[in-house]
Homo-oligomer: A and B are copies of this chain.
Amino acid sequence: MSHTVDSAVSAVRTYIEQHRAAFLDDLAEWLRIPSVSAQPDHAPDVRRSADWLAAKLTETGFPTVEVWQTPGAPAVYAQWPSGDPQAPTVLVYGHHDVQPAAREDGWDTDPFEPAVLGNRLHARGAADDKGQVFFHTLGVRAHLAATGRSAPAVNLKLLIEGEEESGSPNFRALVEERAERLAADAVVVSDTGMWSEDTPTVCTGMRGIAECEIRLFGPDQDIHSGSFGGAVPNPATEVARLVAALHDEHARVAVPGFYDGVVELTDRECELFAELPFDEARWLRTARSHAAYGEAGHTTLERVWARPTAEVNGIGGGYQGAGSKTIIPSSAFVKLSFRLVAGQDPEHVQKAVRVWAAERLPAGIRHEITFSPATRPCLTPLDHPALRSVVRAMGRAFEGPVRFTREGGSGPAADLQEVLGAPVLFLGISVPSDGWHAPNEKVELDLLFKGVETSAHLWGDLADTWRRAP
């Protein structure tokens, strides 16, 4: 590493060291606010959390800070112009609401009374997502202190929503409505994780999702399986046949047209996945599962990160109680979710599923199919210059090689990518053991400050990247 880099790293570290205690005190104050968006009686807390963050961002130095109301919980918006007319604009996304938590769920400490145990900060939201939002506040201050600037090297915008844990029901509309103010050259999403404490990684994509419920209707009421069994179509049997026809013998999705447009993994990406210290037995324990199973010709990591899927989330029909009841049920349903990867168009997939389902049902079975709003996949190309900035910033903080992962889940990042037309970069420092949505959620303090450092290094690097290739 060059002398310049070294001095930048140490300047950032010095600043962080000086402000470490205050930063943790502030974060603890925020974590005490039980901003549980899914529980209506916590609505005032979610509003208080937004106001608290807005005040803190003003204190951080953002000249513009606003609380944006939605039909649900408020989001916080902040903006700090670079002053340089050539500087790119970067929008940071995170959320200030948290999952429900109660001591009796198995917490060793009060979930809303942050506790430092060893090198870990325990509290609901410590990792998901308040800790990861908050590291940017000290990050941008460290960036200014280390570079002697009075404003960030990029036009920095923050959008911290308040309903992510409730499915972001108003997020898309908010982004569409405020698209002009949110306009950015890149989006930085800090709501993901790394491979492990020892293996810093950058996530380069999330799968999208299309969900549907298919309801099949047979007899107008439940009928006697003795009197009529064997002679009329049974909607429970037919729904099972639909599900069985979802995959071929190679565990590939058998809906015609489903794979249209799929961006296949390159050999290089497969190699990069294979470089990760993946232990299948350990992964299975995390998955609480007893065998790996999936699309032929792909590894487990490829299957969960980079391959589209069709999964049954729920199936039902007929008698659900104890013992037996000799009926042919009147109706049956299946709830399916299709995870999508880059190149797949949710509308195209929805159409393909509709056609496929309709063609497979026999006479006498009527069906209805309902799709929930879909989420698009997002992918940061490995050679995207802005991704190299994230990797360099993270490399400085972690002082070592940075590898690549993806995320199998889906999130509102895709809405930002689509509505704003900007690439999404993932910057997260959480690790699988942090216990998102589980009791005893925590953040590793070392990693939290690596997040601060990465944030501090990122803005200058991104500005340089855009200067070289605007």
Interface of A toward B, CB cutoff 8 Å: 207, 209, 211, 213, 218-221, 223-234, 236-237, 239-247, 284, 287-295, 300, 303-304, 307-309, 311-320, 323-330, 332, 334-335, 337, 339, 362-366, 372, 407-410
- Once A219-B289, A289-B364, A408-B228 are accepted as A-B contacts, the answer to whether A245 and B244 lie under 8 Å apart by CB is yes
Do residues B225 and A311 form an inter-chain contact, with CB atoms below 8 A? yes
Contacts of A307 in B (CB 8 A): 230
Question: Which residues on B sit within 8 Å (CB–CB) of A335?
Answer: 318-319, 324-325
| A236 to B311 CA separation, bound complex (whole angstroms) | 9
A314 touches B320 (CB 8 A): yes
A209-B326, A317-B315, A318-B313 are contacts. A287–B226 as well, Cβ < 8 Å? no
Complex Cα spacing A220 to B285, Å:
10
18 interchain pairs (CB within 8 A)? A218-B289, A218-B290, A227-B408, A229-B339, A230-B308, A231-B300, A232-B284, A236-B243, A237-B244, A240-B243, A240-B315, A241-B244, A243-B244, A244-B244, A290-B364, A293-B362, A323-B372, A324-B335
A290 to chain B: which residues have CB within 8 Å?
A: 218-219, 363-366
Other A-B pairs beyond A229-B311, A229-B339, 6, CB < 8 Å: A225-B311, A225-B313, A229-B304, A229-B309, A232-B284, A313-B318
Whole-angstrom CA separation of A337 from B328 in the bound complex: 10
Min CB distance, A200 to chain B, in Å? 20
Cβ–Cβ < 8 Å partners of A324 in chain B: 211, 213, 313, 335, 337, 372
* Number of copies of this chain that the complex holds: 2
| B364 adjacent to A219 (CB under 8 Å) | no
Which of B230, B312, B339, B407 is within 8 Å of A294, CB to CB?
A: B230
How near does chain B come to A379, taking the closest CB pair, in angstroms?
A: 15
Pair A409/B227 contact, Cβ less than 8 Å: yes
Q: Smallest CB-CB separation from A291: which chain B residue?
A: B364
**Cβ of A219 to closest chain B Cβ, rounded Å:** 4
Q: Which residues of chain B have C-beta atoms less than 8 A from A223's C-beta?
A: 287-289
Q: Which residues of B contact A408 (CB under 8 A)?
A: 226-230
Give the one of A218, A223, A230, A242 with max B CB within 10 A.
Answer: A230
Contact with A292, one of B207, B220, B232 (Cβ below 8 angstroms): B232
A328 to B311, CA, bound (A): 7
Distance A182 CA – B365 CA, assembled complex (angstroms): 47
Assuming the contacts A289-B223, A293-B363, A313-B329, asked whether A337 and B229 have C-beta atoms less than 8 A apart, the reply is: yes
Residues of B within 8 A of A236 (CB): 243, 312-315
Instruction: For the complex, give the distance between the alpha carbons of A328 and B320 in Å.
Output: 19
- Given A211-B324, A314-B329, answer yes or no on A230-B319 (Cβ-Cβ < 8 Å): no
Evaluate contact between B246 and A243: CB separation under 8 angstroms. no
Residues of B within 8 A of A295 (CB): 230
Leading 6 A-B pairs by shortest Cβ distance: A291-B364, A226-B409, A244-B244, A240-B243, A230-B309, A314-B319
Q: Which residues of B contact A320 (CB under 8 A)?
A: 314, 316
Is B230 a contact partner of A291 (Cβ separation < 8 A)? Answer: no
A337 to chain B: which residues have CB within 8 Å?
225, 229, 324, 326
Given contacts A227-B409, A240-B243, A289-B228, contact A312 B234 (CB under 8 A): yes
Chain B proximity of A460: nearest CB distance (Å): 34
In the assembled complex, the Cα of A224 lies from the Cα of B288 at a distance in Å of 11
Q: How far is the CA of A328 from the CA of B408 in the complex (A)?
A: 13
Cα–Cα distance between A329 and B247 once the two chains are bound (Å):
18
Would A287 and B232 be within 8 Å (CB), given that A211-B326, A313-B324 are in contact?
yes
Tell whether, in the assembled complex, residue A239 and residue B315 are in contact, meaning their CB atoms are under 8 Å apart.
Answer: yes
CB-based contact A287/B228 at 8 Å: yes
A407 proximity list for chain B (CB < 8 A): 226
Report the Cα distance A323→B212, complex, angstroms.
Answer: 9
Residue of A219, A231, A237, A303 with most chain B CB atoms under a 10 A cut-off = A231
Query: Does B232 lie within 8 Å of A289, measured CB to CB?
Result: yes
**Chain B residues whose C-beta falls within 8 Å of the C-beta of A317 in the assembled complex:** 312, 314-316
Q: With a CB–CB cut-off of 8 A, which chain B residues contact A292?
A: 231-232, 364
| Least CB separation from A411: chain B residue | B226
* A207 partner residues in chain B, CB cutoff 8 A: 226
Chain B residues whose CB sits within 8 angstroms of the CB of A300 once the complex forms:
231
Cα(A334)–Cα(B240), bound, Å = 10
Q: Which of B240, B304, B311 contacts A239 (CB 8 A)?
A: B240
Query: What B residues does A323 contact at CB under 8 A?
Result: 372
- Closest chain B residue, CB of each to CB of A236: B312
